[in-house]
Structures are given as C-alpha cells and as structure tokens.
C-alpha cells in the first residue's frame, strides 16, 4: 500500500511542479492554441501540457519498476511487454508533440499509432479471445490484430476528439484511470494498478492548471499519450482477467468520447466530408 501511495502522490507532486515550468517554456517559445471558429477560448493558451503529464507519470513508473519488492518482481516477469509499452507510449507522445509544434497530417498520426499497436501485438499485448458468461469462450483467430488495433487506436482517437473544453479530456481520463485501477486491484494486477495510479496522479496535478479558466491545454502530445496508454492498459487488464468486463468497464468510463467519436465519423461520412477532417460538431 505504501508503494501505491508513493506512486499517486509522487506523480501528483511532479505534475504540480512541472506544469508551471511547461507553461513558462510554452510562453517563451510561443507554442499557443490560438482562438478560432472551432475554439471556445478567447485568448492564446499554451498547448503542450502533455509534457507534464507524460514526464510525471513515466518518471514515477520507471522508478517503481526497479524497486526491490513484489511490484518490481512482477515487472521482471513481463519485462518485454512493459518495456515495449513504455517505449510505444514515448513514441506516441513524441509524435503528438511534433504535431503540437509543427502540425502533422491526420494520416501520419494514424500510421504512427498503427506502428505502436503492431509493436505491442508482437510482444503479446492483444485481444485474441474473450470469455463470456459462464465458461463460453470466443477465439478471434486472425481477427485478433484488427480488433486490437481498432480498440487501441479507437480509444486514442476518442480521447483526442474530446479534448475541446477546459478539463474535459483530463477529467474523463482521470475517471477512466480510477476505474481501470480499481478493476486491476480487484484482480491482483499490481503492475496495472501502479500504471493507473501514476496516470491518475499526473492528471490530478495537471487538472489544477487545466480547469476553467485553463492556463494550459494538454495538446495532442497529452491526448494521444493518454488515449494510447488507456487503450493499451485496458487490453493488458483484459488479457490477465480473461473476462469481457476487462474491456467493458473502460468502455463505459470512456462512454462519452467513444459516443462522440462514433457519431463524428458517421456525421462526416453522411456529409461526404473527409473522415479525418476537423469540424465544430463535437458534443462539447
């Protein structure tokens, strides 16, 4: 329990310290989210807050993984999956950061997400079957990869789409972290609990500066990182629990962004617009 407390409070403290630093840096190098027709804010706001979320969560996770305790031992048992997960999260964060600074086409980000999902799939992070009620089991066979990719990329896109109001994406992500964390704790998945508490602590510290009126936005580096991390960890939890509830609970927690993403894509298709284009028809 001391480890869990250290993870949450540690990531919260690091986020509380690094977020003002990121705000200062963003203002110095003039990385702003500029007001326009699709935006609800009326002044320029720094938009690389994801740096603080990423650094505070990853630094605490890496520190805990090397502790000489049961959590550290669990890490060593699935070392390849965890290292690949952290590397993939770092890669997605960097892609989002480049997008915040220079701008990237939507298809480039989609290719990056696909590559990160493929790396996870290779080391065994996948949805290859689900257990329904009772003892019935559904094996996906060759559909395992497209289902895994659709889930993780879908969650990443959903969090990115919902990042349109002060505190909205960070708040929903924090709730989702809590839901996955409680589920992982109930199933004895200690490493997943550490991951979720680290993300929850970093979001708690960041939200202090992101609530209305926001002093900083998380940007794509934050929303892409969070979405990818939540999608990937929910798959890892479902693998360990071997129950459909491992995916159902995160889906319920992310109900609003998932609903918004589905109807956004449907609306653009019916309007014969590019699926990956931007608009102001989101729920928020």
* 202 pLDDT more than 60: yes
Is residue 275 one of the residues assigned to a domain?
no
pLDDT: which is higher, 237 or 111: 111
Q: Cβ of 212: how many Cβ atoms within 10 Å?
A: 10
Task: Note whether residue 283 is domain-resident.
Answer: no
Q: Which of 61, 46, 50 is CA-nearest to residue 18?
A: 50
Q: Six-digit token pair at 233?
A: 């960890």
Q: Is residue 282 part of a domain?
A: no
Give the Å distances, CA to CA, from 127 to 3, 61, 77, 214.
29, 24, 20, 37
Can you give the pLDDT at residue 1?
A: 72
**Confidence at 277, pLDDT banded by 50, 70, 90:** low
Task: Flag whether 281 is in a domain.
Answer: no
Structural domain contains residue 46 = yes
Q: For the chain, how many structural domains are there in total?
A: 1
Residues of the domain holding 182: 2-270
Q: How confident is the model at residue 225 (pLDDT cuts 50, 70, 90)?
A: very high
pLDDT tens digits for range 98-151: 999 998 998 999 999 999 999 999 999 988 877 766 566 778 888 899 999 999
Position 284 in a domain:
no
Mean pLDDT score, 176-186: 88
Q: Give the pLDDT score at 20.
A: 95
pLDDT of residue 251: 74
pLDDT band, residue 252 (cuts 50/70/90): confident
Average pLDDT for residues 243-266, to the nearest whole number?
Answer: 69
For the chain, how far is it from start to end, CA to CA, in angstroms? 38
pLDDT band (50, 70, 90) for residue 90: very high
User: Mean of the pLDDT values across residues 204-226?
Assistant: 91
The answer to whether position 112 is within a domain reads yes
Residue 88 scores a pLDDT above 90: yes
- Give tens-digit pLDDT for 27-57: 998 887 765 545 554 567 888 999 999 999 9
- In a domain, residue 280? The reply is no
């Amino acid at each position: 329990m001391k480890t869990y407390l250290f993870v949450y409070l540690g990531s919260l403290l690091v986020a509380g310290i690094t977020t003002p630093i990121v705000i200062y840096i963003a203002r110095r190098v003039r990385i702003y989210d500029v007001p326009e027709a699709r935006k609800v804010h009326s002044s320029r706001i720094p938009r690389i807050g994801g740096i603080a979320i990423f650094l505070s969560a990853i630094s605490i996770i890496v520190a805990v993984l090397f502790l000489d305790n049961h959590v550290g031992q669990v890490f060593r048992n699935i070392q390849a999956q965890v290292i690949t997960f952290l590397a993939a999260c770092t890669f997605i964060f960097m892609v989002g950061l480049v997008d915040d600074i220079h701008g990237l086409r939507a298809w480039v980000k989609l290719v990056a997400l696909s590559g990160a999902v493929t790396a996870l799939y290779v080391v065994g992070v996948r949805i290859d079957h689900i257990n329904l009620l009772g003892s019935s089991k559904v094996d996906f066979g060759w559909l395992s990869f497209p289902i895994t990719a659709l889930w993780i990329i879908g969650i990443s896109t959903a969090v990115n789409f919902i990042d349109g109001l002060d505190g909205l994406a960070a708040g929903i992500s924090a709730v989702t972290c809590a839901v996955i964390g409680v589920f992982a704790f109930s199933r004895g998945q200690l490493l997943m609990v550490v991951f979720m508490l680290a993300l929850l602590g970093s979001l708690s510290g960041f939200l202090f500066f992101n609530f209305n009126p926001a002093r900083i936005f998380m940007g794509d580096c934050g929303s892409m990182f969070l979405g990818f991390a939540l999608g990937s960890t929910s798959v890892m939890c479902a693998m360990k629990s071997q129950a459909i509830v491992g995916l159902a609970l995160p889906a319920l927690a992310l109900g609003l962004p998932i609903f918004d993403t589905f109807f956004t894509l449907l609306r653009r298709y019916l309007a014969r617009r590019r699926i990956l284009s931007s608009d102001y028809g989101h729920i928020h």
